[in-house]
Amino acid sequence: DILGTQDGGRRITTAKSHLDSNRKNLHVIRQAHVKRVNFNAEKKATGVTFMLNGKREYTVQVSKEIVLSAGAIGTPQILMLSGVGPTAHLKKHGIPTMLDLAVGQNLKDHASLPVVFQIDKSTARKPTEEELVDAMYNLLMGRHSKLLHHEATSLTGFINTTSKTGPNPDIQTTNFYSLMQSPELKGYVAATGFNERVAKSILAANQLSNTYITYLLHLKPFSFGHIELTSANYLDKPKIYANYMSDKRDIDTYVRALKIYSKLPETKAFKIREAALHKVDLEACNSLVFQSDDYWRCYIRHMTTTVYHPVGTTKMGPVTDSQAVVDWRLRVHGAQNLRVIDASIMPDIVAANTNAAIIMIGEKGAEMIKEDWEQNGARKNTHNEL
């Protein structure tokens, strides 16, 4: 069976798998949007102010502590709106600084690069009406289907582009297979956000053959970015500067990977499936020699996207680390009663999909909270000292 966060063939979130709605000590407020965390003069988190349904403001006081789990984008935004972040940036938006910390820095993500192949040219077929109906039903029910890639996406590969015998891969692949003129590929191309020219080129590969698209994920990127506030208004989405490929070493890794995967049609298995590398119509790259290093560098500049694995924006580390925001117990440096438990605490991105690691962070953070409060019936180390 497919390895994934599923139950009975349906993909589920941790809200379904972990939260018990019958717990007396759990109260979930829906349609609530947090504006800020409130502090007193001693830098102790005292509560949270939020808007309900965008109409009425509430402030909830805390008796023990606040845990931020809004993710690598939402958590730094809330902290900065609360006065926790780089002083110069907060001052720019008229926000008084409570704690001068590197919130929003150290953003890392897995960039992703598609490579498109045409396959099965002599045996390609369109999906049947029955398959289309089945796929739509399964989609609405949250289940997988053959038409909607489930067999393909369960195929994940890991390679080391510098050594065939090296123990640590630097590239992960996620793979997608589509029947000829498959409507789900049209939806995928639209959702990815390719410009019209590129989208038409990818869909053209699917007109007279089946297609196979492999996405190359750089597992341990050297490039990093940051997140900034757009304004002091909690409704304004933050600015995300991913800075993919800003470090030349990431480009070099992708060039090596592209050279490996562009040779797949030469293998026995791919020859049987009549595979051919599809040249995507990229205006800026078409004049370059196809598959040359210069061509691949151009391809990387124009085709890089993301698989949405942002981490690191409230980095965990000792107080001596100028980039660290939380300590080893996930408590915000210099604050009291405030923790961060989500992907943003990762010092570096994990060399795999982030979902399982983030669930582990949640489990470990919960254990830390229990340990700190169960010890003698009171919290140990109230101040964040290592």
The DSSP H or E segment spanning 257 is: helix 248-261
Query: d(Cα 36, Cα 56) in Å, to the nearest integer?
Result: 15
Query: Which two tokens mark 260?
Result: 């490996």
Query: d(Cα 167, Cα 282) in Å, to the nearest integer?
Result: 35
Query: d(Cα 302, Cα 309) in Å, to the nearest integer?
Result: 20
Residue environment code for 125-144, b if the CB has 16+ CB neighbours within 10 A, otherwise e: eebeeebbebbeebeeeebb
What are the backbone dihedrals phi and psi of residue 373, each rounded to the nearest 5 degrees, phi first?
-95, -25
Sign of the CA dihedral with 351 first, then 354, 37, and 20 last: negative
The β-bridge partners of 214 are: 115, 175
Contact call for residues 277 and 228 (beta carbons, < 8 A): no
**Residues identified as active-site:** 309
